[in-house]
Structure 1
């Protein structure tokens, strides 16, 4: 190797290291900005409402010097709802990011491919037919959703997992589940149907400390598994042939990562019901904030938490008399976002075809 070759190789390595440092710095800045946005939204949610609480009263309550009224409003009513929104949004954001990177499809998310719809069926059946609630409902929805995901995985299998086929199977399953939920609600007792309908719409109104802790514990376990799978998952995102050439067991890693994504979505849905488009939007927004071809799971988690917390603030205060279910706001905002993504993808495809 000549001196010129060594110099060229050294320059190339230096450029790659510089690019990595720049990417890490950008990711750190984006994460810091998103965390700051979540904190701002949290304080807005703590202070706004019929029982107005000032920022100073919030701080006094946090350190145990608040009045009985502020302790009730801040610690028992608003804070559990805020933390639930952050954790649920983070779970959905991570789930969407993992789906999109593993399937290499920017439109893949648990609500698009039928995961949340499957969870809705399990939840409605449990509420209407068995009167389940609390921990039992949460665990049953998680297990039922995982079983539905396994069924979709089997249906999409053809000499390996076909990502496009999985999306089509998921869309079909989602349509079937939507019709099945409507059928169950139409045939059930009016009071049970009303309870189930609030859950199906997606609402944070039932948030409590009792529901928050087990959900957070389950989420932490799954996030740990996602972190363990992060390195082989990044290699898998380069393509099946490349990953196999580097010694990665492609189907096992894909199944494990998709299982984690399904579990995260199931944890979120079992707690507050299906919330449309949060998972889809979080991965897309994360990718655009980082200006890279892939989304960071941590960034997507922060985006999801900020999105859901912001949507909940709008849902509570958009109408002066009656608060809206949070799922209504995410659906109204998310549907145009999906249409924009489809139009953008179509234009990009046409331009590349030309």
Structure 2
């Protein structure tokens, strides 16, 4: 059966005539066991589309490189066909890289949606608020002072990201965490941590500096199963945990007073989801480096795709809802597509994906600031 429900958007009287301007199509699906699940038809369609695009981009990326392969050859190798050379190229060289890209994109997309929802600010992104810089400081300290291997660098990145998150929480706490205070403290912390990154670079020798610069750029080059397995385990635990808090996060977007009235323990939910998102960001950064702007752009693009057409086109922070699943899928699409584009434009392993996402994301940030200023929000 189907029903029409309001999406939470403010609806003007003249927009209605009995129907809300933001009305959504929701279908209730009943299983044989009596379980009933409500599906937002537009969100489901957008999610399936993003999943298909992500898988298509993954197949195209696996087929790219010095030894190009057609999609049919890639699919044959993935399903056990093809010759021994194709099996080795796909399973040992390219598949781990693509899986890391998909997992990192999901992690950045979901965590970015959490940060923007909690702060109620479109600039609430890990790379804007200093969490990525904190991971960079931890990784560089491991490289410069301990000459750590890949596992040590990853551990340093996780420790730096989590430590930065705790520090920002403590500095921003005053009878709870207010969105704009959280953003301002995060931006200030990010500036200080970037200065620490520059200091560590001056203390490094030429070999360490080269290694640190390569890591800080953000790249999927050389990623193997050693990065896939721990990142997959982290995502398997933390992403479902954040999805479990999807409804309270939606209530938080209505404001603290409304969330309290609806029975949400605001401070507890905010702390749990932020700490979980920080660990998720730190793990993704440890696997691929601080790839910029994916966490900023993915949630907003996902929200725009999920908006009814009549509500589009005004403002830089479309609503409603955190759209965690769509944000994760959009993050995967953006990262894998950017890596494929960098290979097509500049050759295999010539341009790290972090450079391309930084250029495109920087342009998106300028557009976002312009639209926010035009709307009177900044």
The TM-score, its normalising length taken from structure 1, stands at 0.90
Q: Which of 337, 341, 346 is 1:319 aligned to?
A: 346
Pairwise CA distance, 1:76: 1.2
1:305 and 2:310 matched: no
Shift of 1:48: 2.1
**Change over 3 Å in CA distance of 1:51–1:194 after alignment to 2:** same
**Alignment check: 8 A CA contact 1:317 1:323 kept:** no
Report the counterpart of residue 345 of structure 1 in structure 2. 372
TM superposition shift of 1:132: 2.4
* Contact in 2 for aligned 1:142/1:263 (Cα 8 Å): yes
Q: Which moved more, 1:300-309 or 1:253-262?
A: 253-262
Q: Take 2:300 and 2:20, find their aligned partners in 1: how far apart are those partners?
A: 27
How far did 1:60 drift?
2.7
Residues 108 and 331 in structure 2, CA contact (< 8 A), matched pair in contact too? yes
Q: Residues 88 and 61 (structure 1 numbering): CA distance in 2 closer, same or farther, change over 3 Å?
A: same
Give the structure with the higher percent strand: 2
Report the Cα distance in structure 2 between the residues aligned to 1:322 and 1:99, rounded to whole angstroms.
32
Contact map agreement 1:47 1:55 (CA 8 A) in 2: yes
Counterpart check, 1:109 vs 2:114: no
The change in CA–CA distance for 1:232 and 1:295 in structure 2 (over 3 A counts) is closer
User: How far is the alpha carbon of 1:223 from its aligned partner?
Assistant: 1.1
Alpha-carbon offset, residue 235 of structure 1:
1.8
Give 1:273's aligned residue. Answer: 289
Question: Aligned pair 1:21/2:26, yes or no?
Answer: yes
CA-based RMSD = 2.3
What are the residue-to-residue correspondences of 1:208-219 with 2, within 5 Å? 208-219=224-235
Contact 2:46–2:306 (CA under 8 A) maintained in structure 1:
yes
1:270 is displaced (CA, Å) by 0.8
Deviations along 1:187-236, whole A, 9 cap, x unmatched?
21211211111111101112101210111101111112212222222222
1:6 corresponding residue in structure 2: none
Q: Structure 1 residue 253: deviation in Å?
A: 0.8
SS in structure 1 at match of 2:222: coil
1:26-45 alignment to 2 at 5 Å?
A: 26-45=42-61
For this pair of structures, how many residues does the alignment match?
340
**Is contact 2:172-2:178 (8 Å) kept?**
yes
1:98 and 2:114 aligned:
yes
The Cα of 1:68 is off from its aligned counterpart by 2.5
Work out which of the residue numbers 196, 203, 214 in structure 2 matches 1:187: 203
Check if 1:149 corresponds to 2:165: yes
- Per-residue CA deviation, residues 262-308 of structure 1 (Å, 9 max, x unaligned), is 11111110111101100000011011001143331000000000000
SS at match of 1:158: coil
Cα distance in 2 for partners of 1:54, 1:224 equals 34
Contact 2:141 2:156 in 1 (8 A): no
Secondary structure of 1:111's match? Answer: helix
The more displaced of 204-213 and 22-31 is: 22-31
Rounded Cα–Cα distance in structure 2 between residues aligned with 1:196 and 1:127: 7
Return the alpha-carbon distance in structure 1 between the equivalents of residues 204 and 98 of structure 2: 32
| CA apart distance, 1:180 | 1.4
Shift of 1:13: 11
Corresponding residue number in structure 2 for 1:9: none
Structure 1 partner of 2:219? 203
CA contact (8 A) 2:65 2:347 kept: no
Task: State how far apart, in whole Å, the 2-side matches of 1:320 and 1:222 are.
Answer: 35
Deviations 1:141-182 (A, max 9, x none): 223311211111111122321221221111111111112112
The 1-side partners of 2:150 and 2:237 are apart by 20
Deviates more, 1:74-83 or 1:141-150: 141-150
Corresponding residue SS for 1:21: strand
- Partner secondary structure for residue 318 of structure 1: helix
Match of 2:276 in 1: 260
TM-score by length of 2: 0.84
Bigger proportion of residues as helix: 1
Q: Say yes or no: does 1:296 pair with 2:323.
A: yes
Distance 2:163 2:336 in 1: 30
Match of 1:163 among 174, 179, 189: 179
* 1:336 shift after superposition: 0.5
